[in-house]
Amino acid sequence: MPADYKSWPKFLSAIQRPDAKQVREIYMNPEAAKATASSGFANGTMFVMENYAALETTDGKLATDDKGKLIKADLLRVFVMGKNAGWGQDVPEALRNGNWVYASYLGDGRSKGPEDTATCRTCHLPLANKDFVHRYDEHFASRK
Ligand code: HEC
């Protein structure tokens, strides 16, 4: 877990996931910030995604602020993905996501989350043509 990730540039902010009852913040390291849509992300790239519970009202509905956005409550998980030369080659070929490796932490940022990283790989695998990054197009569109 990179200790200083909160000082990194934002990849995307306040991602609304009412389906998962969550709000997410994604940070990228300075290496990732150098990428362009055509170059893609170089080795040394790292992303950190904070998954916050969306605040619920007492009747179990999702609360929203005056702009209609979900409101962050507890930090549930911190997901990390990074790529580098030779990384991720020890996993079965069918689950390999190029050179990316994945990790999940609890909200304290230290204890490992319960997720099996095979589930991360399975869900990011279809994004192979976007370097396994789900919000690739949205991110580069947001930089303009
Ligand atoms: C069910 C599908 C699914 C699973 C499982 C999953 N992800 Fe993702 N991931 C997504 C989606 C979709 C996004 C885009 C942000 C959003 O909509 O929440 C994303 C975004 C990310 C990002 C930000 C970069 C990007 O791709 O846009 C990181 C980092 C990340 N996931 C790490 C993980 C880790 C670590 C795990 C396993 C512990 C994991 N993910 C499991 C679907 C998944």
Residue 117's closest CA among 102, 100, 132, 133? Answer: 102
Strand, coil or helix: 32: helix
- Quickly tell me which residue has 């150098």 as its tokens: 34
Is residue 78 within 6 Å of ligand 1 at its C-beta?
no
CATH code for position 31: 3.50.70.20
Measured CA to CA, the distance from residue 11 to residue 22 in angstroms comes to 17
For residues 82 and 45, is the Cβ–Cβ distance under 8 A?
yes
9: CA distance to ligand 1 center in Å?
Answer: 18
Whether 144 shows a pLDDT value over 90: the answer reads no
Residue of the nearest CA to atom 42 in ligand 1? 123
Question: What is the tens place of the pLDDT at every residue in 81-97?
Answer: 999 999 999 999 999 99
Structural domain including 28 reads: 5-143
Q: How high is the pLDDT of residue 95?
A: 97
13: CA distance to ligand 1 center in Å?
Answer: 14
Overall domain count for the chain: 1
The DSSP code for 108 is T
Q: Which ligand 1 atom sits closest to the C-alpha of 116? A: 38
Question: What is the tens place of the pLDDT at every residue in 21-48?
Answer: 999 999 999 999 999 999 999 999 999 9
Residue of the nearest CA to atom 40 in ligand 1? 120
